[in-house]
Amino acid sequence: MDKAKVYQWLREGINEKNLLLNEPMNKHTSFKVGGPVDIMVLPENVKELQWVVEICRNEALPFLVIGNGTNLLVRDKGIREIIIKISHNLSEKSVKGTLIRALAGSSLSSVAHLAWKSGLIGLEFASGIPGALGGGVSMNAGAYGSEMKDVVKSIIALKTSGELVEVNNGDLLFEYRSSKVQKEENLIIVEVSLDLEPGDPDEILMKMRKLNKLRQLKQPLDFPNAGSTFKRPTGYYAGKLIEDAGLKGKRIGGAQVSRKHAGFLINLGYATSDDIIKLIALIRKTVEEKFGVLLEPEVKILGEP
């Protein structure tokens, strides 16, 4: 990819301040690791997003769409593609009755707080999840017995053909930590409609505080991490398997299995992506050898090997 040429193409439809060259991905992931991406685009509106996708389609340029990077692990050599980051630039929200409509870059916590302020029940579980709404819907994020599939009414998505389409809940094929959007790379979530129920704002706030207190007690929020590193295997809990395998506190370089919750891998402040990837491989191998269970990573690994 000729970065200079692509940059000039993109400048025709994107504000220059929203085009970043050789941008370190450690600034854009909650793990705080990762090498540079060739070009990062931060579209300010849906029209700009369509422009970027059109350029990539017409010129056969590889691209990836991310949100706040809370579920990503970028390799140390970085990414040789265009990253389209949908975050705070696309975060408008509105409420009408029990329906919240929000652009995909809205943080889950901000949408949960809007629901609380509007006296709407159903998003309390999301108030402490650090990711963006689009990413949360794509992976059907959840916590404490609730998931995004429980509250999503529909989405508006941009197809790589440039067409905007509406997809209803029943057609999103929600599964545990997965959806149609995650499986079909030609869909980019632009807007989400959430159907909630009326409730008492004081009770909603109490529940949010209770769940966030539980997070603080059980999760290593004081270290960079990407949430639960592994999906929950059927009939087991990943954290317990890892702890029972004797790996709690295990460290490779600056990456460590959290002593607070073995389901989380943390960056002690000097980890490389390679450290984390090696620790993931060690955990998977050890748990499979001891218990016959192959853990499936929940974090998505991107970048040049």
**How large is the C-alpha radius of gyration of the chain?**
20
Query: Can 106 be counted among the known catalytic residues?
Result: no
Considering the domain boundaries, does residue 50 fall inside one? yes
Whether residues 79 and 123 share a domain: the answer is no
Average pLDDT over residues 123-127: 96
Q: What is the CATH number of the domain that holds 136?
A: 3.30.465.10
Active site residue 177: yes
Section 190-207 average pLDDT: 98
Q: Of the residues 174, 203, 232, which one is the last residue of a structural domain?
A: 203
**3-state class (DSSP) for residue 287:** helix
Q: For position 272, what pLDDT does the model report?
A: 98
Mean pLDDT to the nearest integer, 151-160: 97
Residue 200 Rama label (left phi>0; alpha psi -120 to 50; beta) = beta
- 224: CB partners within 8 A, 6+ apart: 30, 31, 32, 33, 266, 267, 269
At residue 184 the predicted structure's pLDDT band, cuts being 50, 70 and 90, is: confident
Question: One of 177, 179, 193, 273 is an active-site residue; which one?
Answer: 177
> pTM to 2 decimals?
0.93
Confidence at 4, pLDDT banded by 50, 70, 90: confident
- HEC-encoded secondary structure of 155-190: EEEEECCCCEEEEEHHHCCCECCECHHHHCCCEEEE
Structural domain range at position 71: 3-88
Same domain, residue pair 22 and 95: no
Set 107, 138, 228, 273: catalytic member: 228
Q: What is the pLDDT of residue 157?
A: 97
Active site residue 11: no
Percent of the chain at pLDDT > 90 equals 92
- Return the CATH number at 84: 3.30.43.10
Q: Could you say which of 203, 232, 250 is where a domain stops? A: 203
> Is residue 76 located within the same domain as residue 102?
no
Question: What DSSP line would sit under 41-72, residue for residue?
Answer: E--SSHHHHHHHHHHHHHTT--EEEESS-TTE
- Type of residue found at 66: I
Total number of domains constituting the chain: 3
117 vs 184, higher pLDDT: 117
Whole-number pLDDT of residue 168: 97
Residues 61 and 153 in one domain: no
Quick check: is 211 in a domain? no
